[in-house]
Amino acid sequence: MNDLDRQDPSHHHRGAFNTTSAEVLRGAHGTGRSVRLIPFVAVMAVIEVLDVILTFRLHEFNNHGSVIQRLADDVSRVGNGLFLFFLVASVVVLFLSREKTPRFVLPMLTVYLSVASLNVLFNIATMFVEPLSMHQSQINPLIDLLLVFSSVTLIFSLWYELIDVTSPFQAIDFPHRGGEGELPIRWFDYLVIAFYSNSTFGPTTETIRSRRIQFLMMVQVSLALMVLVVLVARIVKAS
């Protein structure tokens, strides 16, 4: 064992993250965590598909174009444009930047997630204020519930991953993850936290150490409660 190994027993573990690749956005201050660009963009693509479907359904089942719905449409178009731009930029990064992710990628991720979060908020607000169509059945609110639930879960899973990676300290403590001899922390671990926050209104075994993540969890739980209230109201009205 060399001197570096004796000074830092986790040296071998962190070394797994030190591969030179533009596909990996490395964490701050040597926390050993990173964002992998390809899975991140893939999740963004799923979010965009869910947004397009939900926006189409809101137009189909709500015949009155209110101010909130027009704002939701505008935000949705901005989000779609940002996603296409980011998709092209990601391809350029992967092919042209061989060793390190450029600095502009992190602000782009943050801007996109901000617009996506605002978009899902407007969609939920539209579901609150828009009247139901006469032909809407009970199954339609359940589809809306699934679309919004999935969108919120995916968006906040990316938020939690991004904040945890860029935080100067360990923002989320995952038991039995990331340590020496344990499974590495990946996006799926943040997806689990986002899913639990939607369904049980909080994390289970994970310890949240970041106030930013705690605030985002409050926002996510509030959105989940709003969706629950509006969907129950719609199911009752449609029955």
d(C-alpha 148, C-alpha 228), whole Å: 10
Q: Which residue has the higher pLDDT, 19 or 172?
A: 172
Contact 126, 64 (CB under 8 A): no
DSSP secondary structure, 50-88, as one string: HHHHHHHHHHHH-----HHHHHHHHHHHHHHHHHHHHHH
Token pair, residue 161, equals: 């991953």
Q: Is 60 exceeded by the pLDDT of residue 30?
A: no
pTM attached to this predicted model: 0.78
Give the pLDDT score at 99.
59
Give the pLDDT score at 235.
66
Give the pLDDT score at 51.
87
d(C-alpha 130, C-alpha 108), whole Å: 32
User: Interhelix angle for 211-238 vs 187-199, to 10°?
Assistant: 50
pLDDT band at 5 (very low <50, low <70, confident <90, very high): very low
Reported as type and span, the H/E element at residue 193 is helix 187-199
Q: Is 60 exceeded by the pLDDT of residue 17?
A: no
Q: Per DSSP, what are the bridge partners of residue 207?
A: 173
pLDDT band at 105 (very low <50, low <70, confident <90, very high): confident
The string of pLDDT tens digits covering residues 74-88 is 777 888 888 888 888
Give the pLDDT score at 234.
67
Q: Is 70 exceeded by the pLDDT of residue 61?
A: no
Q: Which residue has the higher pLDDT, 136 or 5?
A: 136
* CA distance from start to end of the chain: 71
d(C-alpha 54, C-alpha 155), whole Å: 15
